[in-house]
Structure 1
């Protein structure tokens, strides 16, 4: 996606350097003037614009940018019957949590942002949370799914996507119910980093609740040869293999399984399957892989800015050439949360430290319906400040496309089970 998006200007911060440039509104070029002259809200985006998580980082960036472009096309965020545009500033965590924390501090201190939009990975999100607390700047996280993010009870961070421990296990119950003949055994692989490990644990615990026998639970590094692990699992011949990880490890699981001529009756993953890059990287070999999604363009949700889920998807596809996944949608919805909270707060830019604390409280009180679905943050417990409202949908790649296969009331196609042998 071009950084010169219509309707908002952006200063990019990459590796600590800042470069300002102009953008266009309604086709008329302009240069962003000093904040003292033109009141604008300033939002900082922390995500992986380089490094091993760049694919997911680009998804989060696209989602946040889509909201900024859409709201600025309407004149900006509404406060007390006036509208104020949003300036977006990027911070590259370089796929490293410590770098993400440094980037967040620069955005707050140097660029004086009013709000942060959170990282792609849970590891970086956890690293940024103390920075938000230190400077009293709220962060809305459109991607983080590790339950450890919310178990820490972050005062200034709010999550749009339900944690994986609420979604991964539930998806296995749906899969087991749809399987015919009924699945009885499962092997679980988790990549040994925050989000992926918790996803693996969610699959493992959910499998037990679904009545599946866990014949193997393996933690693997994010990179390296998976042949020994897949060989061990193949010898156990489980009905289902469940994998928690980001895009590259998931792709490697499929490639390694094919190289060993091993295909379980069902292969289920979590986030990466909904990323268009997954199907593109594997081509026909991606077919049959199942996954979990908390949003699809076919869901019956809408709001005043983006319209329906389908209309949002069409807007996103026109911009990037790819149908958006649930992470991109959740990141765009993060902006809706900010706009709603600022409107209720009634404070115009620039926000003071006291205003930002009040904004944090306004975000905590969010209760809205969006194209992404309902958003309301937990006020206590292990999912403190996480939005656990969305209901997970079991999806499967069929003919190169992602389709809903369960539960039955959400299904657009039948589950392919058992999977055919590799060709």
Structure 2
């Protein structure tokens, strides 16, 4: 996540959940105190607990921790009629992929974790995959969305969120169908870092599939003045502007557009709009912004641990003080995948090297429905070991709240199009 616009930070908005943890490995206090001598399943979490991606890193941590807490409240993960507590260990990638690889190796070698829960960013996830392969330790990734993660065909890594090349492109078909009068042109902005660039490329491909004319494709640095780019786009006056990037670049796009008194008829990005802190950061200027979500609190799914999606939301709000977004939900669902695979495997902790390989095979055979939705991993093709089951929903901020606007069967409100001018 880019450093620009430091006023927007989940450290500010998410309060106690945004812990500035020191780098290295930290064990979860409530587990170690309660089960210091008992056999436990050891989970190694690699994520960004410091550096420029700390906001997203804490979202992944929230999701993983919520699963561990819920599982331990019931006595832990069930295997062979017994239950075993979950013990969490953390490795800080410091928002750097190479550091993430080092952290994963420490968790495996020094802490002897049974499995890993993956990083916030796709870059760190890709860097950790060879470590998983080297030590043959499975990893379940609740956040990674880059198609490059799965193009590598990682034997030991599994993804909960569909890759961004499937979701961003599909969303533009939904958006074009909702627009009235029908949108005909689009400009795409991609931030020059892996996830954001691939999101932009997904928007570009999806636009062509939706019959939209791409009048501009601009690749911009992670930070810097966007005035020249937005001035060029304003002169072209496309119906839709799509932004491939995290929250802060989109905030900069909106602020720059307003400074130029230019507002497209529709503005969409992939990630960030579902986070309540985004709307708080921009106030009324966030209204009308659209985004893509693969999970919403209103989905009609449930499981035996969390209950319904609404039950999950209530639990997350009580603990963290905000409505969870789909990253947190997917990270919590990662734990459900492990618990299901461990139960089917039938091996008690601690797992031997042979058990960890068998666990990987059990995870590959996952076919479950959770509060997050259906989870089943691809076994071939460009999305190998990714869960591409969820269908993307287009959402829009209206009166400070995030609502589903499409497809029509999933809509909770009418799509506002065209957006009113700034003045």
TM-score range, shorter chain: over 0.9
Matches within 5 A, 1:380-419: 380-419=380-419
1:339 maps to 339
The runs of 5 or more residues in structure 2 that have no matched partner are: 1-13
Aligned-residue offset at 1:378: 0.1
Question: CA, structure 1 residues 259+362, in 2 after alignment: closer, same or farther (shift >3 Å)?
Answer: same
Residue-by-residue CA offset, 1:252-305 (whole Å, 9 max, x unaligned): 111111111111000000011112221121111111000000110101000000
Aligned-residue offset at 1:30: 3.2
Matched, 1:303 2:306: no
Aligned-residue offset at 1:192: 1.1
Matched, 1:90 2:90: yes
Aligned-residue offset at 1:21: 6.6
Matched, 1:112 2:112: yes
Residue-by-residue CA offset, 1:290-346 (whole Å, 9 max, x unaligned): 000011010100000000011101111111111011111000000000000000000
Equivalent position SS for 1:224? coil
Matches within 5 A, 1:277-292: 277-292=277-292
Native 8 Å contact 1:21 1:31 kept in 2: no
Equivalent position SS for 1:87? strand
The runs of 5 or more residues in structure 1 that have no matched partner are: 5-11
Q: 1:22 aligns with which of 17, 29, 35?
A: 29
Residue-by-residue CA offset, 1:370-423 (whole Å, 9 max, x unaligned): 000000000000000000000110000111111000001000000010001114
User: What TM-score do the two structures reach when normalised by structure 1?
Assistant: 0.94
Distance 2:114 2:121 in 1: 22
Matched, 1:258 2:266: no
Give the aligned length. Answer: 408
Equivalent position SS for 2:119? coil
RMSD: 1.6
Aligned-residue offset at 1:58: 1.0
Distance 2:33 2:106 in 1: 25
Equivalent position SS for 1:420? coil
Question: CA, structure 1 residues 280+30, in 2 after alignment: closer, same or farther (shift >3 Å)?
Answer: same
Segments of 4+ moved more than 2 angstroms: 1-4, 12-16, 18-22, 29-32
Matches within 5 A, 1:192-203: 192-203=192-203
1:318 maps to 318
2:132 maps to 132
Equivalent position SS for 1:23? helix
Native 8 Å contact 1:298 1:310 kept in 2: yes
Aligned-residue offset at 1:191: 0.8
Distance 1:32 1:227 in 2: 56
2:351 maps to 351
Distance 1:346 1:310 in 2: 31
Distance 1:253 1:298 in 2: 29
Native 8 Å contact 1:13 1:91 kept in 2: no
Native 8 Å contact 1:119 1:125 kept in 2: yes
Residue-by-residue CA offset, 1:27-84 (whole Å, 9 max, x unaligned): xx93552xxx410000011111111111111111100000000000000000000000
Residue-by-residue CA offset, 1:126-166 (whole Å, 9 max, x unaligned): 01100110111100000001101000000000000000111
1:8 maps to none
Distance 2:283 2:247 in 1: 14
Distance 1:220 1:329 in 2: 30
Equivalent position SS for 2:187? strand
Distance 2:323 2:234 in 1: 34
Question: CA, structure 1 residues 21+118, in 2 after alignment: closer, same or farther (shift >3 Å)?
Answer: closer
Distance 2:28 2:418 in 1: 53
1:182 maps to 182
Question: CA, structure 1 residues 154+184, in 2 after alignment: closer, same or farther (shift >3 Å)?
Answer: same
Distance 1:325 1:217 in 2: 28
2:64 maps to 64
Distance 1:334 1:104 in 2: 17
Native 8 Å contact 2:43 2:86 kept in 1: yes
Distance 2:220 2:45 in 1: 30
Distance 1:13 1:254 in 2: 32
Distance 2:34 2:40 in 1: 13
Equivalent position SS for 1:251? helix
2:158 maps to 158
Distance 1:301 1:65 in 2: 21
Distance 1:60 1:294 in 2: 16
Distance 1:57 1:262 in 2: 33
Aligned-residue offset at 1:3: 8.7
Residue-by-residue CA offset, 1:154-181 (whole Å, 9 max, x unaligned): 0000000000111111110010011011
